A and B are shown apart, each in its own frame.
Chain A
């Protein structure tokens, strides 16, 4: 890895380089995702949205952010 203060994570299957020691809340804000319209999973564990400011991301973490779309 080029920078010591960076980590590589996967968000919805896509590789993302993110700052070390940052919370998931910051990630969601940076991605400009409306928190009230999504659910978040970290390494297959569903997160309580009210607590994501306390959860720090680690290298190789896998995050899924889902929402509702049209479906039958």
Chain B
């Protein structure tokens, strides 16, 4: 890959266009190893209560060094703006994190984002100096409004979180791609390597994957598959694909046929 082809989010430059989540792994060791194999330089993390009863419980920071891998605090599990703001303000206090992932859910069954609360939170957080990467629906109008209130990255879902269905509404993703110069990262719903490649071939700037790696039968192998899929999709996008044609077009010359 061209060395200059990095993913730039706000002032952050990443060599890998794959961002991975750190949830759902069997343990911290598996999580850390999968991240290493995936080549990801940015990982999402959640904010939760410290277990005061069991002080020997392993800490994420002991396995994934925030000095080497960029932590992206998220608001997973928040169902309104108040909860999301509280979570990210706490995340900032842990150690100065300003680049964050906002995710306000509106529906416990489908885990679809509540875009009204999301928009409201993006505006408040931006005013408070946060750099907000926003998990959102694949709605071009909402994506535009998020951009207007200061979002630093637009992160539409491919499909519901953890569903593994791949991009369900390609047209909307294409429209969002055309209308924004902000980093466009497909977040949620990736199931397999081809889903990640498709997102990259469509010109998305990156993909965020958790369940597809963590819950694969062989997480390490899938981490590598996703790494390669993202690279392949990106290269394919930059290469300028051939036009689609319903008729055949022979690859061998007719001249000299016997």
Contact = CB atoms under 8 A, between A and B. Distances in A.
A46 B89 contact: yes
B121 interface: no
B93 A71 contact: no
Interface in A30-72: 31-34, 36-41, 44, 46-49, 64-72
A33 B56 CA distance: 10
B258 interface: no
A70 B25 contact: yes
Contacts, number: 103
B52 interface: yes
A66 B49 contact: yes
Contacts of A32: 55
A38 B50 contact: yes
Contact of A13 (B47, B49, B161): B49
Interface in B70-109: 71, 73-74, 76, 86, 89-95
A38 B95 CA distance: 8
B53 A46 contact: no
Contacts of A11: 52
B242 to A, nearest CB: 36
B23 interface: yes
A46 B90 contact: yes
B210 A68 contact: no
Given A39-B93, A70-B28, A70-B31, A65 B45 contact: no
Interface string A17-35: 0000000000000011110
Interface string B21-53: 111110010010000000000001111111111
A69 B45 contact: yes
B21 A39 contact: no
A67 B55 contact: no
A34 B48 CA distance: 15
Given A11-B52, A14-B53, A41-B90, A71 B59 contact: no
B48 to A, nearest CB: 5
B71 A68 contact: yes
Contacts of B211: 72
A18 to B, nearest CB: 12
10 contacts: A36-B95, A37-B95, A40-B93, A67-B47, A67-B60, A68-B45, A69-B22, A70-B46, A71-B45, A72-B74
Interface of A: 11-14, 16, 31-34, 36-41, 44, 46-49, 64-72
Query: What 9 pairs between A and B have smallest CB-CB spacing?
Result: A71-B46, A72-B21, A72-B210, A70-B22, A39-B93, A68-B45, A39-B90, A72-B23, A12-B49
Interface of B: 21-25, 28, 31, 44-53, 55, 59-61, 71, 73-74, 76, 86, 89-95, 161-162, 188, 210-211
